């Protein structure tokens, strides 16, 4: 047997190999995702840095140009004289020319190059004008006869203004280029982000897929084998069969299952004859007991169902008989009351174990409201504010009537006039939820009472006939598998609002 097990073992399907491959591929996807994220960040950072350096150079040129013109003005007015002032003017112009050369090398656009060339030409005229200014005396003017020092300064000022105007166009070009930088960087970064998201999605898919695969090849076979070993005793051994080896199981698990099957076959061959008769009798007795239990439970359920329907059916038939009698005697209002009551009873009987559309529930609620309007007259006003866009949603039957009844009995029953009960439905598409509210303008509840009612409602675990609010909450909770909710709000002295939230 040892040779057979050794021959069947496949190293490529061992637990060690499977886990190592799982973690290596997962690590590779994580590394790829990280690189994509770093790439997106680097592209964005480089674009931002390039734009910042370009804007810094353009702004620096404009600042230096203004400083140079200010030094020219101070030199012209005599506020700054001497060789140091002349050297500062000359050095400033050379620095501006160097900055223009650097700006000219930026690959932006042909119109940008032309404007920089224009600025360079203007800078040459500006430098010549400044040189004439430096060569002129304060009173005598320029030696070449080009005018007084003040005339030369005004010429310098005109050139400066022209350079300012041209610079504004350059600045607009630079701003457009920076925006283009940012747009291109955003597109590239978006591509990297999409790649990163794809890698993350691939990683999640791989982890789930491979996790499921490892579960089928390792976890489930081991759990199955463990369960069989735990049940291995004299009372259960005769009914145990050989374990079928799943084709997905890894080689280590296949070896364990084969060992288990060999051991089980050996033990069963020794005990089968002695235990077969006893095991058969025990199984028959257990089946008989189970059949009796099932039969008893079915009878109990049938009796309970018949008992629950006897009184409503009797009352329904009685109301029909009274309605026919009232019709024969011409009492129209009594006929109307009895017909609406019969409709309510028929609804409770026909849909007692079925879900109904919200539209049907509101329609039957209208009968109940009509009965209450005949009872209370003008004391209570009933209002319907309905959003019918989700009224085809299925809900448990008879969940609105108890809420309206509570609003009447506990909310507005003591008011002699001005009482109002509003039934409102609303659908919120952004949430995918429908809201049903029953609102009254009674005295409401204080905070302690409201907290007590809410805790009692949410602590209940079974549906009973004692508390309508709790029953409604539990039926909604069970029907919608925990996705529905019922909340109560009641500012003291401002009435009460019971709100049902259901998925739609």
Say which residue the tokens 């501006």 belong to. Answer: 96
Say which residue the tokens 């598998």 belong to. Answer: 481
Q: Which of 303-307, 385-389, 490-494 has the highest mean pLDDT?
A: 385-389
Q: For residue 3, what pLDDT is reported?
A: 37
Given a cut of 50, is residue 308 above it in pLDDT?
no
Say which residue the tokens 């200014």 belong to. Answer: 133
Backbone angles phi, psi at 145, to 5 degrees: 80, 20
Q: For residue 430, what pLDDT is reported?
A: 94
Residues 218 and 18: beta-carbon distance below 8 Å: yes
- Per-residue DSSP letter, 446: -
Write the pLDDT tens digit of every residue in 158-177: 888 888 888 888 778 777 77
Residues 355 and 479: beta-carbon distance below 8 Å: yes
Q: For residue 281, what pLDDT is reported?
A: 74
**Least confident residue range of 2-6, 64-68, 108-112, 446-450:** 2-6
CA distance 261 to 35: 50
Given a cut of 60, is residue 184 above it in pLDDT?
yes
Given a cut of 80, is residue 422 above it in pLDDT?
yes
User: Nearest-CA neighbor of 243 among 231, 124, 174, 235?
Assistant: 231
Percent of the chain with pLDDT over 90: 15
Given a cut of 80, is residue 212 above it in pLDDT?
no
- Going by their DSSP bridges, the two strands 394-396 and 433-440 should be labelled as unpaired
Q: Which two tokens stand for residue 372?
A: 């209450």
Percent of the chain with pLDDT over 70: 72
Mean pLDDT of 145-155: 73
3-state secondary structure of 105: coil
Given a cut of 50, is residue 304 above it in pLDDT?
no
**Least confident residue range of 93-102, 169-178, 330-339:** 330-339
Strands lying side by side in the sheet with 419-428: 380-385, 419-428, 433-440, 496-503, 485-489
Q: For residue 343, what pLDDT is reported?
A: 66
Q: Which two tokens stand for residue 437?
A: 């509210």
Average of per-residue pLDDT values in the chain: 76
CA distance 260 to 350: 57
In whole angstroms, how large is the CA radius of gyration of the chain?
A: 46
For the chain, domains (ranges, CATH) are 30-206 (1.20.1440.210), 367-503 (3.30.565.10)
**Least confident residue range of 220-224, 331-335, 373-377, 440-444:** 331-335
Residue 385, H or E segment: strand 380-385
Q: For residue 342, what pLDDT is reported?
A: 63
Given a cut of 80, is residue 482 above it in pLDDT?
yes
């Amino acid at each position: 047997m040892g040779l057979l097990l050794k021959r069947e073992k496949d190293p490529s399907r061992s637990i060690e190999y499977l886990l190592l491959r799982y973690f290596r591929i997962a690590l590779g996807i994580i590394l790829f995702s990280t690189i994509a994220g770093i790439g997106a960040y680097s592209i964005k950072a480089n674009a931002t840095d390039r734009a910042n350096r370009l804007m810094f150079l353009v702004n620096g040129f404009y600042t230096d140009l203004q400083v140079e013109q200010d030094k020219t003005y101070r030199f012209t007015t005599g506020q700054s004289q001497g060789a140091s002032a002349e050297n500062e003017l000359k050095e400033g112009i050379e620095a501006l020319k160097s900055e223009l050369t650097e700006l000219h090398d930026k690959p932006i656009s042909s119109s940008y190059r032309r404007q920089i060339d224009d600025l360079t030409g203007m800078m040459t005229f500006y430098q010549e004008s400044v040189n004439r200014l430096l060569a002129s005396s304060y009173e005598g003017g320029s030696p070449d006869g080009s005018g007084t020092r003040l005339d030369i300064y005004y010429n310098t000022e005109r050139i400066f203004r022209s350079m300012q105007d041209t610079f504004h166009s350059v600045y607009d070009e630079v701003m457009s280029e920076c925006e283009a930088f940012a747009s291109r960087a955003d597109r590239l970064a978006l591509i990297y982000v999409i790649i990163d998201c794809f890698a993350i999605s691939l990683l999640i898919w791989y982890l789930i897929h491979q996790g499921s695969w490892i579960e089928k090849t390792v976890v489930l076979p081991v759990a199955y084998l463990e369960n069989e070993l735990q049940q291995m005793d004299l009372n259960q051994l005769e009914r145990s069969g050989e374990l079928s080896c799943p084709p997905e199981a890894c080689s280590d698990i296949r070896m364990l299952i084969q060992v288990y099957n060999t051991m089980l076959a050996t033990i069963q061959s020794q005990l089968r004859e002695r235990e077969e008769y006893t095991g058969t009798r025990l199984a028959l007795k257990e089946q008989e007991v189970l059949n009796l239990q099932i039969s008893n439970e079915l009878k109990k359920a049938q009796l309970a169902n018949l008992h629950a329907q006897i009184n409503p059916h009797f009352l329904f038939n009685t109301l029909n008989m009274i309605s026919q009698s009232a019709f024969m005697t011409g009492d129209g209002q009594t006929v109307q009351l009895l017909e609406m009551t019969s409709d309510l009873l028929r609804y409770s009987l026909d849909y007692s174990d079925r879900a109904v559309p919200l539209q049907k529930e509101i329609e039957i609620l209208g009968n109940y409201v009509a009965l209450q309007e005949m009872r209370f007259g003008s004391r209570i006003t009933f209002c319907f504010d309905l959003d019918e866009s989700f009224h085809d949603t299925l809900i448990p039957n008879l969940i609105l009537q108890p809420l309206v009844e509570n609003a009447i009995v506990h909310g507005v029953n003591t008011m002699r006039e001005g009482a109002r009960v509003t039934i409102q439905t609303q659908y919120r598409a952004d949430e995918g939820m429908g809201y049903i509210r029953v609102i009254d303008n009674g005295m409401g509840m204080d905070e302690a009472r409201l907290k007590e009612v809410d805790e009692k409602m949410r602590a209940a675990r079974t549906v009973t006939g004692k508390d309508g609010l709790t029953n409604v909450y539990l039926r909604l909770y069970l029907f919608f598998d925990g996705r529905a909710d019922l909340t109560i709000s009641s500012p003291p002295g401002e009435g009460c609002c019971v709100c049902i939230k259901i998925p739609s």
